[in-house]
Structure 1
Amino acid sequence: MKRIRTGAVVTGLAAAGLLGTFAIPASAGAAATSAPASTATAPATAPVTTASAVTASAKTATAATAPANVAYNKACGAGYGVVDHVNVGRAGTVYLTWNDRTGENCVVTVRTKPGPAVYMLAGIFLTGNTEIGASDSGAYTTYAGPVYLPARAQCVSWRGMIADQFVSAQGHCG
């Protein structure tokens, strides 16, 4: 399981103006209180963010800061239509596609902006069985994949990675 550095998340949300300032009163054991964001002077107590504030703001941050999806590049070929997608932070998008004629899924991970080669991954597996699937990974400038999996009447899990950002999803059954 990959650990997420919550400090970086909180810092990023704060930089985007999506968190209010929360302060712990000087008396020990007191509940955290909210200070107005327009305060001109720094609070006398150390700022902290409550878990509920991070959760609520994270949803807002996704909607407010998520880039437009990079367009599907049709790397899977003719007959494949986009079923779903997941943004890989601001780095790109992982697309799950389906070909009804062949009964195959295909996954491709596409960078938002092509550039110097970075580690990328595109993978697809039967849900609950990672031994049956396909993946493509390496140092790429534009996209990883396509990878294919025959999965008519079966559910798939799919994933992608760009540099150090990893995403995965499941729940599509062909």
Structure 2
Amino acid sequence: MTGSVIARLATAAVLTTALAASPAAATGYTPERVCGSGFHVLNEHTRSVTDHTNTLYGQVFLLYNGLTGEHCAVTMKRYSVGTPTKTLVTLLVRAGSFVPQHGETDEGAFRYYAGPVKVKAYGRCVAINGTADAPGAADASSGWGRWVECGRSPATKAIHRS
């Protein structure tokens, strides 16, 4: 290989590593830390927060705690990290046919992330959505994905008898 090809490959590797590392994580904030002990990221449900030009402004993470049966969602900023900008995360639970869905939202001018929002879904489906803004730019959104995690329940359930 020529020196210029090796240099280009090395530059691409550095850029890929830099893009993969979250600026918020560099400050010590991770989805697991924000949601708390026992939560782990469900990678297959992570959603990118992008604008109409496909610029990455953040990521929405869905986490689960098998001991408590709770789902947690957080939007981690990847742009304007450290600057308060409009950031939002919503975690919805789909209810039955005759029961309205419910959920939790956290929205504000945040420096690093929105959330955590937590719900106990107990066998019901959940969906996440996140937005992030940057000064002088249009809102970026993850959009709503499909309903996921349907039927998941805690590893252990307490039985209450009266």
Task: Identify whether the pair has TM-score above 0.5, normalized to the shorter chain.
Answer: yes
Percent of paired sites with the same residue: 31
Per-residue deviation, residues 45-85 of structure 1 (Å, max 9, x unmatched): xxxxxxxxxxxxxxxxxxx9xx4263533200000011121
2:62 is matched with which residue? 96
Query: Which contiguous aligned blocks of 4+ residues in structure 1 show a shift greater than 4 angstroms?
Result: 128-131
**Equivalences for 1:1-174 in 2 at 5 Å?**
67-68=19-20, 70=22, 71=25, 72-74=30-32, 75-83=34-42, 84-89=45-50, 90-113=56-79, 114-127=81-94, 131-163=101-133, 164-167=139-142, 168-169=144-145, 170-173=147-150, 174=152
The 1-side partners of 2:47 and 2:58 are apart by 9
The 1-side partners of 2:69 and 2:76 are apart by 23
RMSD: 2.1
Per the alignment, in what secondary structure is the counterpart of residue 35 of structure 2? coil
Specify every segment of 5 or more residues in structure 1 that has no aligned partner in the other structure, as ranges: 1-63
Q: Shift of the alpha carbon at 1:92?
A: 1.1
Per the alignment, in what secondary structure is the counterpart of residue 108 of structure 1? strand
The 2-side partners of 1:123 and 1:130 are apart by 16
The TM-score with structure 2 as length reference comes to 0.61
Alpha carbons of 1:157 and 1:142: their partners in 2 closer, same or farther (altered >3 Å)? Answer: same
Per-residue deviation, residues 105-128 of structure 1 (Å, max 9, x unmatched): 000000114132111111111136
1:137–1:144 Cα contact (<8 Å) kept: yes
Which structure has more relative contact order (CA 8 Å, sep 6+)? It is 2
Give the aligned length.
109
User: Which structure shows the higher helix fraction?
Assistant: 2
The 2-side partners of 1:73 and 1:99 are apart by 12
The TM-score with structure 1 as length reference comes to 0.57
Specify every segment of 5 or more residues in structure 2 that has no aligned partner in the other structure, as ranges: 1-15, 51-55, 134-138, 153-162
